[in-house]
Structures are given as structure tokens and as C-alpha cells.
Homo-oligomer: A and B are copies of this chain.
Amino acid sequence: MNFADRLAAAIEGKRSHVVVGLDPDYASLPAEIQSRTGPQPDVADMAGAYQDFLEGLLQDLSEVAVAVKIQVAFFEALGAVGYQLYLGLVARARALGYVVIADAKRGDIGNTSEAYAKAHLDVAGADAMTVNAYFGSDGMEPFLRRAREEGKGLFVLVKTSNPGSQELQDLVLADGRPVYRAMASLVEGWGVAARGESGLSAVGAVVGGTHPAQARELRAALPSTPFLIPGYGSQGATAGDMVGLFGPEGVSAVVNSARAILYAYKKRPLPWREAARREAEEMRDALWQVARRGGAV
């Protein structure tokens, strides 16, 4: 089944556009989790702590969040034990009914991209992954083939959420377009052969929620491209910034929040699991209102 159709069905089934970003940071873990390790935790201790923490969140958020986005970097930083934990998390999250996005931001020449696509979409078994397309079409082909033929999804970096994104992405081309619009055109083109019954493509785009005007411009330019929108919560984007981004059916975007959900216990007088659930529920409800205003959901 085409990934875009699967994602749309999941959004409608859970009435949620929330993607929980799994960005574990040992220093931010609740004291209850940290206290299970000794005062000088090694990488195996830290991986065990991540496991306990993320298992709790996955159990409690499965009705609230449509997807999880696993930030591979934080697992790589623990070495092989961390990489093993990443692989286990993909399987566990899929078993709990989440759409699983490997946030790997990989991209290389063709034969190397084939190895990356294999690593994250085949071996790890993620439903979708994030991709950096600086290399162009031949570097993208191994990812695109899996989107066209194997029901996998991609989210290609177009306009990222960080302030420095303007340095390259906003440079203006001779034809008047900024660079990110040229990247967007490539993405829309790659997506044509990967459209599902919904009309949406399995080739999506990463569009930062911290740049609402540019995000709406991209929404208009890319009607068939699902958006993965980072920047909600701790990076500053709000539900109001998402107005107009969900498309006529309300299923053209999902929104990621990581730290604001994971470490919600720091701002709410609640146990950490309950704090995370409450934060995710409020985000879900706020986004649902915005998505309904945009169309027919």
C-alpha cells in the first residue's frame, strides 16, 4: 500500500497529526529513570535508560501520536549498543501501531544511497525515512524506488526549521526562486510516480514550522507532497503557525515535537509519563482544530 495512503488513513484513524520525536538525552531523563543506573553510567547503562524511558512513552502515546520519528543520531552516539537499541525501537514502535519514520537525513551517490536505504527501510524496517537530496536524482533513486514499489515513504529536506537554514536554502536563483523552491520542485517531480489513491505522494518534504510564510508558499507549490513539519514546541512553532498546511482533506502534513513532549515533566507537576501524554494530547487537539479549519476532515 502506498505510504501516503497509509499515513492518511492513520491520521484519520487516530484523529491525530502528532509525530513524537524520539530524541533521547541522558541528562534530561527523569530522575526515576536516571536513578536506575549508577553515578557513572556507561553506554550500556545509558542505552538501558533510553530503553526504559522510550518504552514507557511508546506505551502511553500510541493512541495519541500517529507516528514516531526516531532521531538516529542520538543512538549512533552510544555506539553499537545504541544502534542495536535503534533497531529494536523501530520494531517495537511498529508493533504498537505507530508509523515509524527513521530520521536519518542520509544521502549519497547511488550505490551508497542503496546501502542507506537498505539499512533503514529494509533492515531496520522503518516505514519512512528522512533524506538529504543535495546529490540530485541519481543519489535519490534507491530511496525513490522503495517509495514507488515497496510502500515506503520519504521526507526530503526542503526548508529546515533552524535559523541557519537561510544561509544556503534561501539564496535567490537567477530565475527568482530561492534554493529551497528548486529543491521543492525536484521533490514534487520525484513524487509523481509515487502517488497513492489519495493523490498524495509517498515522496514527502521536510518543511520547518518555524517559517510559516515559506511553509504556506511551499504548501501551495506542492499540492501532492506530504509535509513532515519539525519545529513545534521547543523550537518555537505553534498550532497557529500550521494554519493552511494540512491541505483540503486535512491529511497533507504531520507535525513533529520531540523535547517538549519527552521532557514535559519539567514544566508540568505530573509524573513524566502523564506529563508527556498530556502535552501530546494538547498538541493533537490544537492541530486537529487547525486542520479542520483548513478543509473537510
Contacts and interface: CB of A to CB of B under 8 A. Distances in A.
A56 to B, nearest CB: 21
A34 B221 CA distance: 51
A162 interface: yes
Say how many copies of this protein the assembly contains.
2
B76 A116 contact: yes
A291 interface: no
B71 A112 contact: yes
A180 B124 CA distance: 33
A199 interface: no
Interface of A: 23, 25, 71, 73-74, 76-81, 83-84, 87, 105-113, 115-116, 118-120, 123-124, 132-140, 157, 160-169, 171-174, 176, 179, 182-183, 186
Q: Which among A78, A80, A132, A140 has the highest number of chain B CB atoms within 10 Å?
A: A80
A73 B119 contact: yes
A109 B161 contact: yes
B157 A134 contact: yes
B87 A168 contact: no
Contacts of A135: 160, 162, 164-165
A281 B177 CA distance: 48
Contact of A136 (B118, B119, B162): B162
A222 to B, nearest CB: 16
